[in-house]
Structure 1
Amino acid sequence: MQPWLDDLTDDLQSMSFNSTTTATEINRSTSSGSETTWTASILASIPTKPHAPSGDPCWDGIRRIRSESPNGVLGLGDLRFVQKLGSGDIGTVYLAELKGAIGCTFAAKVMDKKELESRNKEGRARTEREILEMLDHPFLPTLYVNLESTKWSCLLTEFCPGGDLHVLRQRQPSKRFNEAAVRFYASEVVVALEYVHMMGIVYRDLKPENVLVRSDGHIMLTDFDLSLKCDNSTSTAQLVSDQNPPAVAPTVDPPRFAAASCILPNCIVPAVSCFHPKRKRKKKQQHRGGPDFVAEPIDVRSMSFVGTHEYLAPEIVSGEGHGSAVDWWTLGIFIFELLYGVTPFRGMDNELTLANIVARALEFPKEPAMAGPAKDLITQLLVKDPARRLGSTMGASAIKHHPFFNGVNWALLRCTTPPFIPPPYTCRDISDDSGPDTPVEYY
């Protein structure tokens, strides 16, 4: 446990989150004998949130409390913190209930504001709160309330009782999903990323741990700590067809591979062999009729080294700068892991993993036997040169047209029957231990 979590526990009056204990009510939090004042901000669009389900008990409960409150706001004292769900580098997630509102539960993500500031040194970065306030999509979190003190920030978002895909995969036979289940989860992730890119945001942290399963079995992409958005972001949002090709931004040569930007041991990987492979002629992919919607941010560039080692794109590892194409690389790793139960470039340690990402060719396990379209999609997503990677110019549109997704009704994804519907949630489903072996990890 990080030291700052002890301070948070003090601020929350040394609450216990053991599954055998009762929920703790909080009226006022204190730290080192001095009062900590919390303020709440709620999106002004609560009554008209397009994707908020009708009769959502959380919105209804918040409205009721606001109407009964003298100052018209929701405070920390209106919540019961039931149990710890998980913890990460800069925060902890708790299961919280709204007092007097049956069935109204939240995932309360409490973060150290100083740590947030240190993580936000990149000039164009945004806090997770700012990102979530921009987003409104059925496969993305709904930000209900933002509670703030001088030291902490607490985001109340939807609680997903199904846990994450990392844990769900480990509970499958042979610790992997069948191809139909992977197609379902991957298609919903593609649509979520398409919307995020349309908003000019690069997600940068796709992995099974960050894809949660809602009570209805559909997914929610979560944890936007590493997301990047430019101040004046533009995107290539347009309708294109065979007769109206997309307007592609001019190609910019990447910076020279300098020793200062090489983070691999002894700079063992030369740039030329990694990022300018010999081009191979491919069959022209058959295009389905009708115009396509293309939305890829084109002016969002970063030199930051961010992400999970096994999911890092080669351009991040090399330090040459990256854009939205990193999200399509991570989609390839994501699909590979769901199908095979492992990631393709994992080494004995982090340094070897990074070296493999840049230098080693993609290889597929012999088992399980996988159909050609699945392998081809992964291969095109895991092209080391981001300019040639599937999705880099035509975005999600090119990925949707891949044969692996044949039969997917993109307009009616939410009407598709999910491969797994989580059972009703009880506190016993989650251990109080927030370490890596937690049965269900929400963070």
Structure 2
Amino acid sequence: MADIEYRLPQKRELKTSIPGPKSEALTERRKKAVSAGVASSLPVFADELDGGVIRDVDGNQLVDLGSGIAVTSVGASAPKVVSRVQDAVAKFTHTCFMVTPYEDYVSVGEKIAALTPGSFEKRTALFTSGSEAVENAVKIARVHTKRQAVVVFDHAYHGRTNLTMAMTAKVMPYKQGFGPFANEVYRVPMSYPFRDPEGMTGEEAARRALSIVQKQVGGENVAAVVIEPIQGEGGFIVPAEGFLPALSTWCRDNGAVFVADEVQAGVARAGKWFASEYEGVEPDLVTFAKGIAGGMPLSGVVGRAEIMDAVHGGGLGGTYGGNPVACAAALGALETIEDWNLVDRALEIESIIKEELGSLADSSPIVGELRGRGAMIALEFVKPGSKDPNPEAAKQIAATCLEQGVAILTCGTYGNIVRLLPPLVIDFDLLRDGLRVFAKAIEEAGA
């Protein structure tokens, strides 16, 4: 595995309290300039990021266990991303691919088609955000099938546009007050091993979900089944083995499009290029974003050529979709993942997390489960002696970690999940340091 070089020292260092005076001053400016509807998880303002370190404007160095919500997998300033972006910016920042195309868009399409599951012929369309990718996958599926119904799952998160809000399960903060939402979206139970009846298999969970589809929607009316192979905002839920293949088979038998929303779990994050690979599932369409471009805004849909090409000319696109600078960044990020073997490094990160936290997960009265894959691991917090969600513990632990210079994120339908999403390039000693702060915070919360 290649050695990773860093610009900033990869260590946790606090020079002020969190937040420091400069961050506090910026917060006051922010209140007067930025909508209150745009919230931030951390009260510090970033100055420089490198590897697994966030350096704030007060000079504090925090351990980054969030990666900008799984975006900066290759780091927030990966050399090959920076170099390609600089070269691209010097040539042109925009043409609109629908007006004047450029090679890097085509190169990203070729590359992503080769990396996603399935040896069949594929096509790609590029957009800007994960929400756009998911919404366009639905559009494509509807044109291809000439049907309208979309099946989604409990605990799902698919985005913040009107259609993707309808597809998202959690009301607060994503949907509250923003309706009415798009229709023809049907929600069914997810395979959630920690909360399903004991012993329920993936196949049984799939039958439970699909029986509702058959009764309430009708297989002949379903355009697409859309699912995250590992749910992100919903709590890093890994469905029981057999669940995803059963859904894929049902789609094939009923003429529906199986869409894997890999916006968070894809692009090496979960220890494979795409999380669908774990059970050999070959989705008809895959949506991607987040980790694809090293922090630059880029997303897309890739899938079977006959499905992608069903849309009439001009039916897909967007002014900024597949921006040339973002495409250049994506090529740099993908090259970095390959050169530094970050797919395998994600698995090493998983091993370290389980080594540092595994015994605590078994012994702490407030930890219900440690789960996830690769560098996408979460702990579900419960009230002692039960499986009742404990969001208070998750919030307390996150706050304690932040005070000690470790940035972690919470999530989950019940707000009781702490998720670990370190950059795939994080220094392993730094990772262990951050995890030990996290472990101590869990011990204190459970005492």
TM normalised by structure 1 equals: 0.24
Q: Relative contact order, CA 8 A, sep 6+: which one is greater?
A: 2
Higher helix content, 1 or 2: 2
